[in-house]
């Protein structure tokens, strides 16, 4: 995520907005006025002008820019009130308490760019990693408004899909190239995950191989976004195991039910534990994420008994054929 911190676009470092450590989900907004495409060099000034307009709005009595995050057409994510703060954008205290607010710098005409959608999805995922539940709604679902407009409403209804993890080929594929699978390679290294006993825990990945180099990013729970036929290999190193302690790994397929992701199936394996407190688990799964599911795959780990353990390395490699 290309995050622009408050101080980088000209706001005080900390938002004075009320604390809100968690919420049911995130609401998506747009500008609601005409907004023409412009160079990225003008985006920060646009965010500053939104903040100025909000601070000048005596009727609303805003303490700060109303949104938690704002996303420009170039995919940059501007920190508004940020994480752990109640928004002022959703139409009332109840709606602002139930959902955080993310605003697209997108107006009443034209289609949102792929970069804008990616930035919105990244801002939503970032909030979900910091207190937001899985529900993603339109501003118009919370209060009577057309916000965020037709195209973004459709995108929210479609499960706010990310563009594919792998960069698509620049030119249209020939029939022969069609048969070549895409590749996704993800790793978690410096991002360490503690696994509590008897709780399925999702592994997040914070490094992505983009085809030529490793790129560090925000921890991301999804390995692959459907629709696709796939084969996914998972390698996980666990430390802090007791002798004889069982570990289970599974590849879980989630489908979107219109509001949130629910687990559709799981494919668990389990392994005996090695001596010395370390376990290294490798497994490969193959399967299909149907188009109707708007699904995604996640890796999950369980230690049924004993003390909690730590995952200090995980790597997922997927080959997939878009279905």
Residue 8 CB, shortest distance to Zn ion, in Å, is 13
Question: Which residue in 16, 40, 180, 282 binds Zn ion (CB under 5 A)?
Answer: 40
**Strand pairing of 228-239 and 309-322?**
antiparallel
118 near Zn ion, rule: CB under 5 A: no
CA 212 to chain centre: 23
Q: How far apart are CA 69 and CA 51, in angstroms?
A: 12
C-beta of 64: minimal distance to Zn ion in Å?
A: 16
**CA–CA distances in Å: residue 243 to residues 193, 270, 279, 316:** 20, 15, 10, 26
Backbone angles phi, psi at 90, to 5 degrees: -90, 0
Among the residue ranges 27-35, 228-236, 247-255, 315-323, the one whose residues contact Zn ion (CB under 5 A): 27-35
Q: Cβ of residue 156: shortest distance to Zn ion, in angstroms? A: 12
Binding to Zn ion by residue 102, rule CB under 5 A? no
Considering only 43, 156, 195, 232, the residue that binds Zn ion (CB under 5 A) is 43
Binding residues for Zn ion, total number by CB under 5 A: 7
At closest approach, how far in Å is the CB of 252 from Zn ion?
Answer: 33
- Tell me the closest approach of the beta carbon of residue 89 to Zn ion, in angstroms: 6
Residues 156, 26, 28, 222, CA torsion sign: negative
Nearer to Zn ion, 43 or 50 (CB): 43
d(CA 151, CA 157): 10
Stretch that binds Zn ion, among 141-149, 178-186, 224-232, 313-321 (CB under 5 A): 141-149
* Residue 60 C-beta: closest distance to Zn ion, Å: 13
Nearest to 33 by CA among 21, 46, 44, 20: 46
Residue 165 C-beta: closest distance to Zn ion, Å: 22
Interface with Zn ion includes 147 (CB under 5 A)? yes
Go through 124-163 and write b for each residue having 16 or more CB atoms within 10 A of its CB, e for each that does not. Answer: bbbbbeeebbebbbbbbbbeeeebbbebbbebbbebbebe
Q: Which of 54, 85, 126, 139 binds Zn ion (CB under 5 A)?
A: 139
Q: Count of CB atoms within 10 A of residue 251's CB?
A: 26
Among 26, 72, 238, 316, binds Zn ion (CB under 5 A): 72
The sign of the CA dihedral 227, 232, 238, 241 is: positive
Is 29 a binding residue for Zn ion by CB under 5 A? The answer is yes
Distance, in Å, from the CA atom of 43 to the CA atom of 72, rounded to the nearest integer, reads 7
* 31 in contact with Zn ion (CB under 5 A): no
Contact residues for Zn ion, defined by CB under 5 A: 29, 40, 43, 72, 74, 139, 147
């Amino acid at each position: 995520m290309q995050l622009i911190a408050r101080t980088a676009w000209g706001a005080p470092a900390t938002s004075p907005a009320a604390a809100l450590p968690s919420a049911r989900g995130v609401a998506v907004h747009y500008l609601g006025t005409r907004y023409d495409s412009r160079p990225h060099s003008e985006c920060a000034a646009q965010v500053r002008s939104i903040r100025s307009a909000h601070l000048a709005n005596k009727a609303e009595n805003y303490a700060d820019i109303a949104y938690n995050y704002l996303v420009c057409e170039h995919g940059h994510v501007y920190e508004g009130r940020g994480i752990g703060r109640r928004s002022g954008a959703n139409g009332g205290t109840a709606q602002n308490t139930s959902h955080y607010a993310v605003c697209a710098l997108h107006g009443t005409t034209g289609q949102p760019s792929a970069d804008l959608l990616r930035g919105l999805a990244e801002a939503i995922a970032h909030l979900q990693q910091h207190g937001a539940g899985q529900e993603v709604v339109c501003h118009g679902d919370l209060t009577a408004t057309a916000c965020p407009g037709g195209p973004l409403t459709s995108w929210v209804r479609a499960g706010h899909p990310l563009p594919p993890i792998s960069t698509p080929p620049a030119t249209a594929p020939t029939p022969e190239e069609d048969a070549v699978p895409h590749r996704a390679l993800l790793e978690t290294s410096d991002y360490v995950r503690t696994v509590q006993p008897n709780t399925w825990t999702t592994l997040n990945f914070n490094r992505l191989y983009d085809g030529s180099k490793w790129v560090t990013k925000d921890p991301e729970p999804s390995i692959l976004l459907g629709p696709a036929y796939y084969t996914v290999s998972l390698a996980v190193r666990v430390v802090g195991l007791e002798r004889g302690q069982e570990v289970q790994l599974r590849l879980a397929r989630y489908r979107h039910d219109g509001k949130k992701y629910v687990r559709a199936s799981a494919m668990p394996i389990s392994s005996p534990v090695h001596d010395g407190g370390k376990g290294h688990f490798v497994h490969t799964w193959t399967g299909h994420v149907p188009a109707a599911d708007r699904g995604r795959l996640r890796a999950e780990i369980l230690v049924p008994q004993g003390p909690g353990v730590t995952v200090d390395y995980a790597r997922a490699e997927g080959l997939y054929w878009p279905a």
